[in-house]
Structure formats: structure tokens, C-alpha cells
Amino acid sequence: MTNPADPSTPKPWHHYARALANLLCDRGDLTDPAWYNAIAHTPRHRLVPQIWKQEGAPEWTPVDTAGPAGLELVYSPTSLITKVDARGVPISSSTKPDLMVRMLESLDVRGGDRVLEIGTGTGYNAALLTHRLGDDNVVSIDVDDELVETARARLARFGAHPILAIVDGENGFPARTPYDRIIATCSVSTVPWAWAEQVRDGGRILVSIMPTIHAGNLVLLEKHGDRLEGRFSRRLGQFMSMRHTGEAPETLASAQPAGDERQRTTTAPTEPWKISPVAWMWAALELPGLSLGYSLNDEGTVDASYLTTPDGSWATVPLGRGERTITEAGPTPIWYVIEKTLDRWHSTGQPGWERLGMTATPGRQTMWLDAPDGHHHWPLTGN
């Protein structure tokens, strides 16, 4: 028999779920009472029964989310590693609840709305949507059959039965059109036009636009006839790239010889996290197919960033501050383009995400600064 006064005795999961909802309210992430109720009444630990935790060592330790420590983690605004491969590399995670609820609130759903979710994952977001809108109004799709079947079984155990399907997210799910809202928990370089065709006029699509790794953010688009248009989120929200049927896991390109090497100096920061995410996205738009990686020294620690483009060009830039010598090769002067992009970003007032928007039509998708008809436009890759 458990003793409620014993600190090792876990409190009921409802206690933790309400605490999470209250915390999200206190932080300003959650303002809608309907989403508060969804957070407070959704048993996330049943959808994420085990997570992996690393504490100062290369080994990952499984944590049962039914225990006190696990309940504290699963009902917190923390990224959760849900799958680790044989090498000890995390390959799957559960979206942070604070990001998830910000996305749901920005969709501005109303009772009776029909929503398509691209990327089922653990099923937690589908569970929140189902709590708000009912089983028949929520469709969630994923290319990963194991994820979908696992989520289906776990959702059913507490009475949630959204429509789940194993399909390539790029094609949407036309059987249940039209949708009032489409939300994607994966990133794309451009919006698949099937989504635009499946959302009603005046409907909304929320997706992370990322033309390359580390570059991009959430954009909320509204449909007007044959046009999608909207602005990027003020706060950063990025996801792994959408996977497709039969597609190999995403890998980073390696720097390869591409003709004669050349050297010059730079003072620009090399790590993406030291460059404004907005400026880094501008650079990615100027360099379609840009890939980022790192090189290791003899001690096995990172000593330089390397960047590559599909034409075989590459640049290696030592980490650190101040003047450094870069080495590059190939027809595209990668680091020169990045430095010029940084200069342009500074000259336009170092704009944040709130000044950026996107317009998509059947044959063209562009990003713009301040206004769709302004002077600064960038064609997005994949057109």
C-alpha cells in the first residue's frame, strides 16, 4: 500500500499535467483556456512511456516516465529524447510542450474545425487536438509506420481515436479535405502545393520553412485564392526535415577536394549559433543546397566549421574570434557570400523574424522583408 506522505510515492499524473499547464500560462506560452484544459487532461506519459537521459557521460540511461523522476520530466517544457540508436546518437524526440502550444494557439482553431497534422510522432499533439476538436476532426499522418501504429495503440488506451494514416506527408491526405488548418511538425524547404490545395480559402498552414540545416523558422500562412501568404514567427521554431517513403536518413555532406585551394582571412563568426538565425537563413537562400559540418583535430575535438554546396565547392573556417585564415575551393566562394549576407543584414537594420514573410503561388515561392511588394525578395529553393 502506497503512502501519500512518502516523497518517493508519485503523485497522480493529473497533478503534473496541471502543473505543466500552469507553468505554460505563467510563462506566457499558453493563454487559451481550451488549450489549458487539453494540456491538463492529456496523459503525455502514456504516449511517451520511456525517455533517454544523459548526465555527463556518453551513455544514455532509459527513464520510465511512470515514476516520479520520469513524470517530472515528461510534464515539463523540456525536449525529450525518445529513441537512441546503437551508436548512442539520438534519432527521435518529442516536441517541447511550450513550442507545441504556441503553435496550436497561433493556428486559432475554432470548434468544428478540421485539422491535418503532418508528422504524428508520439501522438501527443494529435491527442491535444482531439481533446479540443473531437476524433473526427483530427487527421494525423506520418511516413513512419512504426510511429503511427504505436501512437494509434497508445491513444486508444485513453479513449482518443483521431484518424491516423501512414502516408508521405508531402501529399497531404485528400480523403478528408477541405481542412481548416494544417500544422506540420517537420520542416520543408518550400510548402508542398498539395497542402495549399487541401486547405480551404481563408484557412491556415503552420510549418517550419528551412531551406537548409540550421536555417529557418515557423511561418503562418493564410490562403487567399491561389496564394498563401503570411509572416514568420517572432520566436524560433525548427524541426527535422520531412522524410519521404523509401528515403535514406538525412546525412551531412563532407568537404571534398574541388580544384585548387585558396586562402584568405575572415573575422566573421563561424558557428551558426553566433550568427543571427535570420542572417543565416538569408545566406542559405543565396547558397541553395548549403550544408554545414565540422572537422576534428587529432584530439577529437571540433576545431573548424566546414560548408559545402552541391557544385563541389567547400570552405573550412577555424573556430574562434578575431582574424582567422579560411581555406576554400570550387566555383562558389561560400564564405564570401556569407560575409556579404551578414553585411546586408546589418545594413538593413539587423531585422528580426517579425519583419520577414513569405508568399507562395503554384509556380513561385518567395521570402520577403517588411512587405510582399517591397524591395527585398528571395526565391526559396525547391521551385
Question: Catalytic residue positions?
Answer: 92
Give the CA count within 13 Å in the CB-facing half-sphere of 106.
25
Name the grid cell of 114. 478540421
**Are residues 92 and 172 in contact, defined by beta-carbon separation less than 8 angstroms?**
no
User: Can you tell me which residue has the cell 525578395?
Assistant: 377
**Are residues 182 and 161 in contact, defined by beta-carbon separation less than 8 angstroms?**
no
Round to whole Å and give the CA distance between 383 and 189: 9
Round to whole Å and give the CA distance between 5 and 8: 9
Give how far Cα 155 sits from Cα of 31, 47, 99, 134, 279, Å: 25, 7, 21, 13, 41
User: Can you tell me which residue has the cell 508528422?
Assistant: 119
Round to whole Å and give the CA distance between 184 and 175: 18
Angle 81-24-155 (CA atoms, 0-180°, nearest 5)? 55
